[in-house]
Amino acid sequence: MVSPPSGFDGQAVPVSPGRRLLRPDFVWGVSTSSYQIEGAAREDGRGPSIWDGFSHQPGRIANGDTGDVACDHYHRYAEDIALMREMGVGAYRFSVAWPRVLPEGRGIANERGIAFYDRLVDGLLAAGIEPWVCLYHWDLPQALQDRGGWAERDSANWFADYARLVASRLGDRVKRFATFNEPGVFTLFGYAFGWHPPAVDDAAQHHAAIHHVNLAHGAAIDVLRAYLPGVSLGTICNMQPVRPVDPTPADCAAAALLDDYWNRAFADPQIRGAYPAVLAERIAPFVQDGDMERIRRPIDWLGINHYSPIYARADAGSRLGFAWSDAPAEVPRSPIGWQIDPDAFRNTLLDACDRYRLPIYVTENGAGAEESGDAAGAVNDVERIDYLSRYLDALEEAVLLGADVRGYFVWSLLDNFEWGAGYANRFGLVRVDYPTQRRIPKASARWYKATIAAQVRGSVP
């Protein structure tokens, strides 16, 4: 039996008032992902993912960090469930590691890998926490990358078979599934910018991958619907306004193009049935008769991940003609340089509601920092509390203006492997002391607990 987590009885924190405009059944959650927290990379039959290989390539990840151990969630999941229960969250969004359940990506299932997710789901349900499962958060089995990965049209069938396995094993207890997390990120960073695996810069592979991920989404939706009557299905997209570094025609054109790849390349075909015009032309060589109908399958909600506006500038020397740019120094920024702009969040929610006409869950929002704890590991992360509180205010403004927002998941429960930034960049409500794997709730964990309690009580001080 896991003892109740310590650290929630720390210093009192400012409590957000009960948020009167949110639905009584508003979902309060936290999010994580498999490669970023599980560890046990070569344990109990797990096969390698593209991130295992990529993170072990010298120079790819800050400080030479990898996800080999991460937060050791594979072994410490019960302790992490206890943290969520103490916080009072109603839902936990996590991802299944495809290579943990299908080491070769296809074929024989790995029963020990499936057993982990059984234990996790059972533990969550016993704690009164609803499991929300994302099928893909970037950790493609390396064996499938060796067969062409997402650039191979057959990847849609591989993904549908994987979805079928997960549905058959977890679908009796899991009622919320998302197909992909942020396909706009992993396709752009993996097939154009070289910041993610497979780290190629190739127009044909990039545009084929976009289309095949969309086909995989539609195929998985059909499988989940067929296997799990009454299940609630969604897609999780990064949605952030794209701003030109300078208001020149070239930078504005760059921003418009990045907007297509970043915000529209997946939600538009999956929900509206068509690519943005520029992308449609570039993806046309990979589109077969009936594909757009295969992609646009009915879903129940749209998950939006939002942190800040992003910036683009023209770059004639790059294949796509644009380059990613940091936020200007003069705007309010978080400790890791991301712009803080709650109004942009409110407007993103309103625009998405208007454009896609689906219930929205904010499936990621949070603030990163390269923070350190005191001698006891305690972190008084008042800047993170301020960020989260202001973004919840903006969410509430969007609801007041008619946005159908039904839930909010903080990224993240734990400090974790932040991709190229490794472990230096911390997003957790709970600090992880990696040498000891000790979990230490931050002030923001106490704040989130109090915020949820105030909402649940419906109290309006």
* Enzyme catalytic residues: 182, 364
Distance separating alpha carbons of residues 155 and 167, to the nearest angstrom: 18
- Token pair belonging to 346: 């409110």
Query: Counting contacts by CB under 6 A, is residue 356 touching ligand GCO?
Result: no
Site string for ligand GCO, 116-155 (x = CB under 6 A): ----------------------------------------
Select 239 or 292, whichever has its Cβ closest to ligand GCO. Answer: 239
Select 171 or 197, whichever has its Cβ closest to ligand GCO. Answer: 197
Stretch that binds ligand GCO, among 178-186, 218-226, 246-254, 264-272 (CB under 6 A): 178-186
Query: Counting contacts by CB under 6 A, is residue 418 touching ligand GCO?
Result: yes
Distance separating alpha carbons of residues 275 and 50, to the nearest angstrom: 27
Query: Counting contacts by CB under 6 A, is residue 33 touching ligand GCO?
Result: yes
Residues binding ligand GCO: what is the number (CB under 6 A)? 11
Stretch that binds ligand GCO, among 48-56, 126-134, 180-188, 267-275 (CB under 6 A): 180-188
Distance separating alpha carbons of residues 445 and 439, to the nearest angstrom: 11
Query: Counting contacts by CB under 6 A, is residue 445 touching ligand GCO?
Result: no
Least Å distance, CB 185 to ligand GCO, is 5
DSSP state of 29: E
Least Å distance, CB 165 to ligand GCO, is 23
Stretch that binds ligand GCO, among 179-187, 255-263, 272-280, 287-295 (CB under 6 A): 179-187
Select 244 or 428, whichever has its Cβ closest to ligand GCO. Answer: 428
Select 31 or 110, whichever has its Cβ closest to ligand GCO. Answer: 31
Least Å distance, CB 103 to ligand GCO, is 23
Select 223 or 237, whichever has its Cβ closest to ligand GCO. Answer: 237
Distance separating alpha carbons of residues 16 and 19, to the nearest angstrom: 8
Residue 324 host element (H or E): strand 322-325
Least Å distance, CB 95 to ligand GCO, is 9
Least Å distance, CB 360 to ligand GCO, is 16
Site string for ligand GCO, 360-399 (x = CB under 6 A): ----x-----------------------------------
Least Å distance, CB 366 to ligand GCO, is 7
Q: Three-state SS across 134-203? A: EEECCCCEHHHHCCCHHHCCCHHHHHHHHHHHHHHHHCCCCCEEEEEECHHHHHHHHHCCCCCCCCCCCH
Least Å distance, CB 244 to ligand GCO, is 22
Least Å distance, CB 240 to ligand GCO, is 10
Query: Counting contacts by CB under 6 A, is residue 38 touching ligand GCO?
Result: no
Which residue reads 């340089």 in tokens?
A: 337
Widest Cα–Cα separation across the chain = 63
Positions in 272-291 near ligand GCO (CB under 6 A): none
Strand partners, 92: 30, 131
Select 80 or 418, whichever has its Cβ closest to ligand GCO. Answer: 418
Stretch that binds ligand GCO, among 69-77, 163-171, 181-189, 382-390 (CB under 6 A): 181-189
Within 8 A by CB and 6+ apart from 225, the residues are 231, 233, 297, 298
Integer-rounded Cα Rg, in Å, for the chain is 21
Amino acid 300 reads D
Query: Counting contacts by CB under 6 A, is residue 92 touching ligand GCO?
Result: no
Phi and psi based region of residue 199 (left: phi greater than 0; alpha: psi -120 to 50; beta: remaining): left
Amino acid 432 reads V
Among 49, 205, 305, 455, binds ligand GCO (CB under 6 A): 305
Site string for ligand GCO, 231-250 (x = CB under 6 A): -------x------------
Select 223 or 267, whichever has its Cβ closest to ligand GCO. Answer: 267
| Cα→Cα distances 454→20, 48, 118, 419, Å | 10, 43, 32, 34
Query: Counting contacts by CB under 6 A, is residue 427 touching ligand GCO?
Result: yes
CB-CB neighbours of 323 under 10 Å = 17
Least Å distance, CB 402 to ligand GCO, is 26
Question: 277: exposed, middle or buried (C-beta count within 10 Å: 0-12, 13-18, 19+)?
Answer: exposed
DSSP state of 11: S
Handedness of CA 151, 154, 157, 163 (dihedral sign): negative
Select 36 or 187, whichever has its Cβ closest to ligand GCO. Answer: 36
Select 19 or 423, whichever has its Cβ closest to ligand GCO. Answer: 423
Among 181, 270, 339, 348, binds ligand GCO (CB under 6 A): 181
Query: Length of the chain, please?
Result: 461
Distance separating alpha carbons of residues 51 and 457, to the nearest angstrom: 42
DSSP of 395-409: HHHHHHTT--EEEEE
Q: What angle do CA 235, 283, 266 make, to 5 degrees?
A: 10
- Give yes or no for a cis peptide into 334 (omega within 30° of 0): no
Binding site for ligand GCO (CB under 6 A): 33, 36, 181-182, 185, 238, 305, 364, 411, 418, 427
